[in-house]
Amino acid sequence: MSATRIPSRVRRLNKVQKISVAGVSALAVASLTFSLVPSNAEAEVAPQAAGAAAPVAFTGGSAQAKTVQDSLIAQHSTAEQLVKAADAAKAKAAAETKAKAAKAKAAADAKDRAEKAAKAKADAKKRGTEAANRSTARKPVYANNLDGWIREAMAIMKKEGIPGSYEGIHRNIIRESSGNRWAINNWDINARNGVPSKGLLQVIQPTFDRYHVKGTKKDLYDPVANIVAACNYAADRYGTMDNVDSAY
What are the sequence ranges of the domains in the chain? 8-96, 146-243
Other CB atoms within a 10 A radius of the CB of residue 196 amount to 16
Mean pLDDT of 66-72: 81
Residue 4 has pLDDT above 50, yes or no: no
Mean pLDDT of 140-158: 97
**Average per-residue pLDDT in the chain?**
80
Residue 63 has pLDDT above 50, yes or no: yes
For the CA atoms of 229, 231, 237, 238, what is the dihedral angle to 10 degrees? 170
Other CB atoms within a 10 A radius of the CB of residue 163 amount to 16
- In terms of Cβ atoms closer than 10 Å to its own Cβ (0-12, 13-18, 19+), residue 181 is middle
- What integer pLDDT is reported at residue 137 of this predicted model? 61
Per-residue pLDDT band at 175 (split at 50, 70, 90): very high
Could you report the per-residue pLDDT of 18-47, keeping only the tens digit for each? 544 454 444 444 444 444 444 444 444 344
Cα 162-164-169 angle, rounded to 5 deg: 130
Residue 119 has pLDDT above 80, yes or no: yes
Give the CA distances from residue 154 to residues 100, 131, 232, in Å, rounded to whole numbers and listed in that order: 70, 25, 11
Poorest-confidence range of 62-66, 75-79, 109-113, 143-147? Answer: 62-66
- What integer pLDDT is reported at residue 21 of this predicted model? 45
- What integer pLDDT is reported at residue 179 of this predicted model? 97
Poorest-confidence range of 68-82, 102-116, 216-230? Answer: 68-82
